[in-house]
Structure 1
Amino acid sequence: MDLIVNKNVKLKEVEMEDAPSLYALIHANRGHLRRFLGWIDATEGTADIEMFIAGSRQRRMMQNGTDYGLWYKGRIIGVVGLHYMDWINHCTSIGYWIIENMQGKGIMTAAVSRLIRYVFDELGLNRVEIRCAVENEKSRAIPERLGFTREGQIRQGEWLYDHYVDHIVYGLLKNEWRRA
């Protein structure tokens, strides 16, 4: 299912036909993406993206999350994902990345906002979490702009190639979103 963000931006569930363009996008932005994404070096070709898409489709079929291509004016510029869906506790988490030259335009903030609306209004969940590396100020700015509460810090929460990074945990509840 596609989620329309605005006249220029949409979220489209990733499909196999997206694999070549998604790999080309990642390959062209390796240096930028590698700073905070630990899977970049393991992404060596289109086959790796096809495996990612197959996993995303499987999670979608099991109602356990999905990944969306972030499309701007008809071209893919990033990915936004709904991670594990905890249906018992009515919560999920969101992850995202965007190519460097599209940062700072409000595109990702608008996309995440639309996904949150979908999570709360259509899926009926109660809580969304976003985790960002402490040093990743641009990613951290998104939940901060969208009214998330900074709930804590996870020390050495992620292994990033040759070192650990700490994560900030942000949470947003459905009733807080409605007030915002």
Structure 2
Amino acid sequence: MYAISLGDDGAELRPLEPWRAEEFLAHIDRGREFIGAYVGLADAVEDLAASRAFLLRYAEKAAADAGRIYGIWADGKLVGGVLFRTMDVAQGTAEAGCWLEPSAAGRGLVTRAARVIIDWAVEERGIHRVEWLVSSANRPSIAVARRLGMTKEGVLRESFLYRGKRHDMEVWSVLAPEWRAAHINPRPLS
């Protein structure tokens, strides 16, 4: 098992694997309402079987080089995560995302963790374009995209039906040359 330090506060980024299903479910339960405001993860992980199945899907994506999922631990407790929901190495594209329970909000954990995985994707896997899709109402996630140096490309009006309501989705991205030019160099994942 390995962990990557996310800074002086002791926060760490670790692989989120199927054997952590019980811990993952407890984390989702602690933040279910907060996480579920904009992210379907809270609805997808309702019990231990669903938690295990969700993490197993990402283990299969990792084995196929089509996605990844990592947990963020603070004070020894799983408090959030970052992922590549999709990753197409041949095309050089990936879609990154995140979630966080309320107890960990406002500490910069998601931004620091996203920097690590984006740097890995660009430098180790040759990803050229990393996308960030976010509800226009999700201000904290939009702030992360900005801090990551992403460019807002547009709005997909009412494109996402979630919990009975249509959401405008913003498309943000960063290209590998832009990422490198920003001199963002977190610790590598490999």
TM-score (norm 1): 0.93
- Which of 76, 98, 101 pairs up with 2:100? 98
Alpha-carbon contact 1:9-1:111 (below 8 Å) kept: no
Match of 1:135 in 2: 137
Unaligned runs of 5+ in 2: 183-190
Moved more, 139-148 or 3-12: 3-12
> Match of 1:5, as an amino acid?
L
Unaligned runs of 5+ in 1: none
Match of 1:14 in 2: 16
| Structure 1 residues 54 and 156: alpha-carbon distance in aligned structure 2, compared to 1, 3 A threshold | same
1:155 paired with 2:157, answer yes
SS at match of 1:80: strand
> 5 Å matches for 1:5-154?
5-7=6-8, 8-154=10-156
Task: Say what the alpha-carbon RMSD is for the aligned residues.
Answer: 1.5
* CA deviation after TM superposition for structure 1 residue 44, in Å: 2.1
The one-character-per-residue Cα deviations of 1:99-138 (angstroms, maximum 9, x if unpaired) are 1121111111111111111111111111100011000000
Mapped to 1, the partners of 2:95 and 2:49 lie a distance apart of 26
SS at match of 1:109: helix
How many percent identity over aligned positions? 28
Alpha-carbon contact 1:93-1:130 (below 8 Å) kept: yes
SS at match of 1:22: helix
Mapped to 2, the partners of 1:173 and 1:16 lie a distance apart of 31
Mapped to 2, the partners of 1:125 and 1:138 lie a distance apart of 25
Alpha-carbon contact 2:33-2:42 (below 8 Å) kept: no
TM-score (norm 2): 0.89
